[in-house]
Amino acid sequence: MAEKITTTNEAAVAEKLLQAQAIRLNVKEPFTWSSGWTSPIYCDNRIVLGHPYIRDFIKSELCNMVFAQFPEAGLLAGVATAGIPWGAMVADQLKLPYVYVRSKPKEHGLGQQIEGFYEKDRPVVVMEDLISTGKSSLQVVDVLRQAGLEVIGLVSIFNYGFPAARAAFQAAGVPYLSLSDYPTLISLALDKKLVSPEEEAILLNWSEDPANWKGV
């Protein structure tokens, strides 16, 4: 049965994401996600790629996590598109083979969905930038499994901690780890006075039922 594995540097990672403005919080003027959800938070970890020192910090934390928690990993697989650069950097640092997985098979050429060379006897760790519902991440897990690969876990930078995601990963039997998560971020934002206690309550309430949250 899959369980979320906790780490020790969640606050440090959350602080770096806030510093790079990869995460923005706005209760009064919420964001609209591509899913149509209304949200008081927006996370875009691609922004971190433009901050070399923060990027190096995040890369090192991802490497440490893979090395410590999945020492048997023989292949890393990035989730297109946002997980691709992080997976490539970690694979390079750890000297592991690397592939990435498209959201759908290529419509020309060989029609591949898994891009890159791999051997089926190598245990795979999936590299993702962000976990929301877990749907896109677990679709990649399914593609890898259908190709005959053993997925031993998934690692991401940030995790919203939605109950639906926990249930989905548990049902799929996939252990997942994140460098930081939503409760840690909100606690840090309160400590730094980026949000008020009243806003903290709204932010925490949103995460319990994000699909039906309509703002304040």
pLDDT in tens, 64-121: 999 999 999 999 999 999 999 999 999 999 999 999 999 888 767 666 999 999 999 9
Residues 173/151, Cβ–Cβ less than 8 Å = no
Q: How far apart are CA 28 and CA 185, in angstroms?
A: 18
Residues 6+ apart with CB under 8 A from 155: 62, 65, 66, 69, 70, 125, 126, 127, 128, 176, 177, 178
**54: nearest Cα among 200, 214, 180:** 180
79, containing H or E segment: strand 75-79
Q: Which of 12, 39, 24 is nearest to 207 (CA)?
A: 39
- Mean pLDDT throughout 28-50? 94
Residue 1 confidence (pLDDT) = 39
- Mean pLDDT taken over the chain: 93
Asked if pLDDT for residue 5 goes beyond 50, the answer is: no
pLDDT for position 35: 87
Whole-model pTM: value is 0.93
Kindly indicate the confidence band of residue 20, based on its pLDDT and cuts at 50, 70 and 90.
very high
